Amino acid sequence: MVVGDASLDIDTLVIGAGPGGYVAAIRAAQLGQKVLIVDKSELGGVCLNRGCIPSKALIAAAHQFEAAKHADAFGISVENVKVDFTKTQEFKNGVVKKMTGGVSGLLKGNKVEVFNGECMFINENEARVFNDHESPRYRFKNCIIATGSRPIELKPFPFGGRILSSTEALNLPEVPKSMIVIGGGYIGAELGQMYSKFGSKVTIIEGLDSVLAGFDKDMTSLVTKNMKKTGIDIITGAKAESAEQNDKEVTVKYSVNGETKEVTADYLLVTVGRRPNTDGELGLDLIGLDMDERGFVKVDHQGRTSIPHIFAIGDIVSGLALAHKASYEGKVAAEAISGMPSVVDYKCIPAVVFTDPECSSVGYTEAQAKEKGHKVKAGKFPYAGNGRSVSLNHPEGFVKIVAEEGTGLILGAQIVGLEASNLIAELGLAIEMGATLEDVALTIHAHPTLGEIVMEAAELVMGHPIHIIAR
């Protein structure tokens, strides 16, 4: 309880309880620091409440729906398959509740103090946290800022009414008949495909020449093929210009190949990237923290900012805006504060997209490895050569491994296909441990599993795959 306006002393103040902040807080507490974590909203941040977890719960539901509709391939006839989207949303909300409750328990169990309120710096060593009831002032020895990011709002498409950010798109009360998605990055592709599976007529408008442009074309072509199968219109090389909405629908004007066109739908989802929460009331300018021109906090290899006892992690520092990157940086910052020599190394940070089929990548692509001056050998083993994927009726996709010529050192991997999100972990570990193709090929993988595709991809690059003919 705060007495008067005296400052409360803590070792480490963590601002923001997303996957960066709560992980940092737990690690700092494990290392013996007296930790306070503050969040103005729910524990778990965007990831648990408005991002990774709710989107994956809805995507899982969409997969179930589709599987039920197409069960006839297994000789099972399911008639009258319907979606009760209220129940689907209840399922998703239940998942979120379980996960955020779990974070609360973990913080408590690690003796991290939690305070719900908005944090503002007073100076380099003190911050005040406001909520409706109180506004205590804290003096800290160290601070980890993990305030995350929010959707970018474009001037012609202000959020509100029928124009949605990802947050509202995850909370629609019913499956819309139609939806326009501006931005074919991973959030747009995942949510667009999810609604399409539930029956919405989806149109994706993307400025670049393909959706998921960060991934190799041979991967994204499998995703776009599947998207088109469920009737998604993908308009690439297009610029969305304006939107007009009424209480029933929204019309977007866009230009493509020099022509102006328009499309109308129930809703417009705008997913064109995220902006770091480093502006506003937090007071980073007040304490004079160095930032780059895009609003990201500048940090060193431990997450240390220009003020040495203040660290920044997650979506507010440059790099991939992903939950596992935030958590990883959180652990490094907490350890650095405790005097450990931990530093970040992004060589093995995976990127995963939960489209159908899933895409994942870790380390270098073949092109990147060549650009870095490596002599490269690479190869793709198809899912179709694997008994498990065929018996699951998902024979589409491949595992590609990129290795160094001569040594066989694994430099990178890309996977498109069922469970690509899980399979990439083995290849991340391989890169982390400096493993070679031979190490992976000699690891006995259980049969019949999708994991065997990874083993066979290594054998393929070495020139002796068993389940396809080596050319």
Ligand X SMILES: Cc1cc2nc3c(=O)[nH]c(=O)nc-3n(C[C@H](O)[C@H](O)[C@H](O)COP(=O)(O)OP(=O)(O)OC[C@H]3O[C@@H](n4cnc5c(N)ncnc54)[C@H](O)[C@@H]3O)c2cc1C
Active centre residues (catalytic):
447
CB 128 → ligand X: shortest distance, Å?
10
Task: Report DSSP state, residue 409.
Answer: B
Stretch touching ligand X by CB under 6 A, among 46-54, 293-301, 386-394, 429-437: 46-54
Residue number with CB closer to ligand X (57 or 234): 57
- The residue among 6, 2, 13 whose CA lies nearest residue 312 is 13
* 303 is a contact residue toward ligand X (CB under 6 A): no
C-beta of 44: minimal distance to ligand X in Å? 7
18/451 with CB nearer ligand X: 18
* Residue 459 DSSP SS3: helix
Task: Name 208's Cβ contacts closer than 8 Å, sequence gap at least 6.
Answer: 184, 236, 237
Identity of residue 76: I
In whole angstroms, how large is the CA radius of gyration of the chain? 24
Which of 12, 13, 21, 420 binds ligand X (CB under 6 A)? It is 21
The residue among 19 and 465 lying less far from ligand X, judged by its C-beta, is 19
* The token pair that represents 162 in the structure block: 């029928």
276 in contact with ligand X (CB under 6 A):
no
Out of 10, 47, 284, 401, name the contact with ligand X by CB under 6 A: 47
Among the residue ranges 136-144, 145-153, 223-231, 401-409, the one whose residues contact ligand X (CB under 6 A):
145-153
Give me the least distance between CB of 213 and ligand X, in Å please: 17
CB of residue 201 to ligand X, shortest distance in Å: 21
User: Encoding tokens for residue 202?
Assistant: 């989806």
**Part of the chain binding ligand X (CB under 6 A), chosen from 39-47, 192-200, 356-364, 452-460:** 39-47
The first and second tokens of residue 446, run together, are: 């259980």
Q: Return d(Cα 413, Cα 356) in angstroms, integer.
A: 19
Amino acid identity of 138?
A: Y
Which span (95-103, 143-151, 235-243, 293-301) binds ligand X, by CB under 6 A?
143-151
- Going through 183-222 in order, the beta strands assigned E by DSSP cover 201-205
The single residue among 25, 36, 46, 238 that binds ligand X, judged by CB under 6 A, is 46
Q: Does 424 bind ligand X (CB under 6 A)?
A: no
Choose, by CB under 6 A, the member of 149, 200, 220, 436 that binds ligand X: 149
For 187, phi then psi, to 5°, come to -70, -45
**How many residues at the interface with ligand X, by CB under 6 A?**
36
Restricting to residues 341-400, name those near ligand X by CB under 6 A: 354
CA distance 28 to 200: 45
The CB-of-45 to ligand X minimum distance in angstroms stands at: 3
Strand order in 267-270's β-sheet? 163-164, 267-270, 178-182, 201-205, 233-235
Work out whether 17 is an interface residue with ligand X (CB under 6 A). yes
Question: In the structure encoding, which two tokens stand for residue 11, read together?
Answer: 């070792």
Beta strand residue intervals within 51-125, DSSP E: 113-116, 118-123
Q: Give the H/E segment covering residue 168.
A: helix 166-169
Q: Which of residues 79-138 bind ligand X (CB under 6 A)?
A: 118-119
Residue 35 interacts with ligand X (CB under 6 A): yes or no: no
* 143 lies in the site for ligand X, by CB under 6 A: no
Rounded Cα distance, 446 and 246, in Å: 56
How far, CA to CA in Å, does 116 sit from each of 113, 134, 469? 10, 10, 60
Looking at the Cβ atoms of 37 and 457, the one nearer to ligand X is: 37
CB of 330 to ligand X, least distance (A): 7
Q: Given the rule CB under 6 A, which of 43-51, 96-104, 244-252, 461-469 is the region that contacts ligand X?
A: 43-51
Task: Decide if residue 41 touches ligand X (CB under 6 A).
Answer: yes
Among 125, 277, 305, 436, binds ligand X (CB under 6 A): 277
Binding to ligand X, residues 170-209 (CB under 6 A): 187
Q: Give the CB-nearest residue to ligand X.
A: 148
Reduced to 3 states (helix: H, G, I; strand: E, B; else coil), residue 382 is: strand
Among 261, 314, 245, CA closest to 44: 314
Interface with ligand X (CB under 6 A), residue from 268, 282, 337, 403: 282
Residues 6+ apart with CB under 8 A from 27: 330, 331, 334, 335
Of the residues 270, 272, 323, 337, which one makes contact with ligand X according to CB under 6 A: 323
Task: Tell me how far, at minimum, the Cβ of 376 lies from ligand X, in Å.
Answer: 28
75: its two tokens: 């000789």
Cβ distance 46 to 96 under 8 Å? no
- Which residues are near ligand X by CB under 6 A? 15-21, 38-41, 45-47, 50-52, 55, 118-119, 146-149, 166, 187, 277, 282, 314-315, 321-324, 326, 354
